[in-house]
Structure 1
């Protein structure tokens, strides 16, 4: 079967090659403090990406502090596993765990820890996978931490596939082409040989490669399976600024037809995190940054099911704060995932997808009513909200979660109240997550941390390290130590 190099739909998106530049990230300001009496409801989309954490690690291991815009707090917190209660029913695929603790960096304030745990598909329930590896073999990938690491990473993923899954390989450099047509995963010899034969060279025809990969995925579409393109690149695409919106729209259209796009980032020096985040978010896929073979093993072996098999789409969270109990709040992270209040009940608004066994963690910093740590003045014309004796008097907040099961168009709802002195059994995890959230703020913007510093983050992490079977939490402590001696950007 013949495959065209670039169909007309994509051809007009292709611009001039981008010049070499330093790593680039989208600038975001941290979420502000909000007054509950003025804005009692907070709404955002779930995010299970982890690219920020591994990029930060790469920077610190290189002896330099990371670019502030590379630090996305929620991705750093969500890098770690937490012992949330596992759901047992695939038709009710989420549990919600909560924990309230004192904010370690601000006397008089508290943290509300919210953990959403997804259902884990049993091996026998995992659908067939129709995968297209879209691999960047342009000249910019000619470095030990790029194409050679990419090949090893794809081989790790291959080891996790079932024999009847199919894999195709599309590459792009000066032009795009198919180096392996759809092949059963059982034929590992042929797939590994195709990977082994890859070499880097030429300019980057990224847009052409995306078009060809989608063409291949559509021709072998499995309506009962998972259809996913896995793009592995340093992100140095030749997509001009004028065509970015068109590229996003193209990926969204393919997403709506059931073909998702996930991103694996490699290398540094011309790493386009801003572009890769955009593609992954519009393609309903994850974005991970592979800085070591160990990270590839984490993402593509230990978390393979989470990366490949969705259990729910369009996961949104909405938290309403009780003005009788909470004066102010601040959402830590999720700046690029914020939604309007009305978006929560609008099933046409896209949000994050969740894979098998994935968890999502969110942390709010709150100022209780009566605390001397308040940062904002009361509104002149807002009446006070006294604590009543009804059933909600002990509630700090009320959590609502909306999601769709795969293939469904209408969302389902889960609700849970956050009550005073009624914590779930996740104290150690909540403490460790707070240390990660604090560290992320130290790197990005420490304006709300008062005198809290790297040593405080280390003490909090060590106190709450808990079970650490893969050593990720111990590694995190070493990263904090490295940040204390790292050179600025």
Structure 2
């Protein structure tokens, strides 16, 4: 495993998408981007929504909807990356020769690039400034969806720290701030009262809701806090908004200005528009699939708070491959999230937020030159320090000797990562399931027995269900 070192850098402004830069062009291979040219940049996806939706469908005996995203399948599994020395980010690069079931030349290697933040310190997280923008259109009144949201918000208000602040906006065809940004310490009852005012109404005007939400979020913006807009809806597909909407530009601009967007889908297991908005806003998406009040409360109580503490703020990653040893590479995943080549050093470009104890992984298929020996590439991570506002960097060097082991000797998490990504390729029609799935299932069963990991056991069940 390649070791990493830390480098102090100059201060830079905050930005909120996670970029992965690599030597390569934009010619697409199956399930990724393949090239031997310089300049490809990828926005790194930190979500698991695609995996969650596919798992739900497969275990019900259904075919997953939409195009699976390999990176979100990989993100669903635990890694073995070391903690950083401080409050920033560690960088890991390793790999191995591919398994027999994976079609590749003798010069091919599977490369894993990983980032990890430290676990939450004893002192806890920094303060949060949260603006909840709640869809109260007619459909939200069906099936107990709005009631589930209200129950979850009441629970969250009781859980938030005294140093946090919260605002509540409701929208149907109109938008109204039910409570402007209010400190939790002396305002819990006021916030509870605002949540009680949420009632379903008429059709949805998403743009009005977001515009009002951003006004409240911006007016209540708090320096040295996690500022976040949380959009809650049951279905945005009927709103008329598309990925090309000017609203997406606004979301990205607000993210660059310090307000990220998190989407919460109620009563659905997938909402492509909500996910696109969260991507543009440097955030992520959560789902309460059955509009169950207890499940909604669990999601709001467990998953939202863990994302409020940020260790790797404004994090960017750049990966370069050495032309003297590498002929080409293919990034497995990330193809929908291309970014500009100069983003890594551009202080105004979007970066990303990594919560404590989180890891993010990128997989590559790399082709080495015959007889290659020596440096293969470098991985650079750059982030905003939570201590003094300066930036720091970590660098991991990758050599041919880091990639020469056989697949059976590769770390178990790397092997699981490739199985997960390959399942996404099969489900998306980018790999032959009749050929890949039997040996993949066999390998998965061996890993499940060796690791005793429930997540790997679930992966095996999904591999079997996909046959």
TM-score (norm 2): 0.78
What is the distance in 1 between the residues matched to 2:178 and 2:243?
27
Which one of 46, 49, 53 corresponds to residue 48 of structure 1? Answer: 46
Q: Which residue of 2 aligns with 1:483?
A: 466
Residue 91 of structure 2: which of 89, 92, 95 is its match? 95
Give the alignment of 1:170-249 within 5 angstroms. Answer: 170-185=169-184, 191=191, 195=195, 198-236=198-236, 240=240, 244-249=244-249
Alignment partners' CA distance in 2, 1:74 and 1:329: 16
Q: Structure 1's 235 and 411: CA in aligned 2 closer, same or farther, altered over 3 A?
A: farther
Alpha-carbon distance in structure 1 between the residues aligned to 2:296 and 2:410: 28
1:93 positional shift: 2.9
Counterpart of 1:21 in structure 2 is none
Match of 1:276 among 274, 277, 286: 274
Alpha carbons of structure 1 residues 50 and 297: separation in structure 2 relative to 1, 3 Å: farther
Specify which of 39, 43, 65 is matched with residue 67 of structure 1. Answer: 65
Query: Aligned partners of 1:297 and 1:49: how far apart in 2?
Result: 20
Q: Contact 2:29–2:330 (CA<8 Å) still a contact in 1? A: no
Q: Is the 8 A contact 2:82 2:90 kept in 1?
A: no
Task: List runs of 5+ in structure 2 lacking aligned partners.
Answer: 1-27
Q: Aligned residue for 2:381?
A: 401
- For residue 311 of structure 2, give the secondary structure of its aligned residue in structure 1: strand
Pick from 432, 449, 470 the counterpart of residue 416 of structure 2.
432
CA distance in 2, matches of 1:287, 1:407: 28
Moved more, 326-335 or 180-189: 180-189
**What's the counterpart of residue 164 of structure 2?**
165
Change (3 A) 1:448 1:340: farther
**Residue 243 of structure 2 contacts residue 276 of structure 2 at CA under 8 Å; is this kept in 1?**
no
Q: Deviations over 1:129-172 (max 9, x none)?
A: 12122122222334548445544554564465223322332222
Quote how far apart the aligned CAs of 1:431 are.
Answer: 1.1
Aligned-partner Cα distance in 1 for 2:209–2:384: 31
Q: 1:188 Cα shift?
A: 6.0
2:289 pairs with 288, 291, 309, which one?
291
Q: Secondary structure at the match of 2:112?
A: strand
Query: Separation in 2 of the partners of 1:279 and 1:153?
Result: 22
Shift in Å, 1:280: 1.6
Answer with 161-170 or 305-314: which moved more: 305-314
Aligned counterparts of 1:229 and 1:33: Cα–Cα separation in 2:
32
- The CA distance in 1 between the partners of 2:423 and 2:188, in whole Å, is 42
Deviation at 1:198, TM superposition (A): 4.2
Report the more deviating stretch, 180-189 or 354-363: 180-189
Q: CA deviation at 1:421?
A: 3.5
Instruction: Give the conservation status (yes or no) of the 8 Å contact 1:41–1:321.
Output: no
Aligned residues: 429
Task: Output one character per residue of 1:273-311: Cα deviation in whole Å (capped at 9) or x when no partner.
Answer: 1x2233222322222333367986886555445522333
Please name the residue that 1:57 is paired with.
55
CA 1:32 to 1:179, structure 2 compared with 1: closer, same or farther past 3 Å? closer
Q: How many angstroms apart in 1 are the aligned matches of 2:48 and 2:242?
A: 29
Judge conservation of contact 1:44–1:318 (CA < 8 Å) in 2. no
Match of 1:456 among 439, 451, 463: 439
User: Secondary structure, in 3 states, of the residue corresponding to 1:481?
Assistant: helix
Local SS of the residue matching 1:337: coil
After TM superposition, list the pairs within 5 Å mapping 1:29-44 onto structure 2: 34-36=34-36, 39=37, 42-44=40-42
The alignment status of 1:419 with 2:399, answered yes or no, reads yes
Tell whether the 8 Å contact from 1:264 to 1:287 is kept in structure 2 after alignment.
yes
Aligned to 1:85: 82
What is the alpha-carbon distance in structure 1 between the residues aligned to residue 46 and residue 165 of structure 2? Answer: 25
Q: Deviations over 1:95-127 (max 9, x none)?
A: 324232424422533311111112334242522
Deviation at 1:399, TM superposition (A): 1.8
Q: Give me the whole-angstrom Cα distance separating, in 1, the residues matched to 2:147 and 2:59.
A: 20
| 1:171–1:209 contact (8 Å) kept in structure 2 | yes
**Residue 120 of structure 1: SS of its match in structure 2?**
coil
Report the CA distance between 1:214 and its aligned residue: 2.1
- Tell me, what secondary structure is at the counterpart of 1:329? strand
SS of the residue 1:67 aligns to: coil
Distance 1:114 1:298, change over 3 A: farther
Deviations 1:368-415 (A, max 9, x none): 334xxxxxxxxxxxxxxx75xxxxx42332222233346999854322
Structure 2 equivalent of residue 23 of structure 1: none
- What RMSD over aligned residues (CA atoms) do the two structures have, in Å? 3.6
2:376 aligned counterpart, secondary structure: strand
2:137·2:202 contact (CA, 8 Å) conserved in 1?
Answer: yes
Contact 1:54 1:289 in 2 (8 A): no
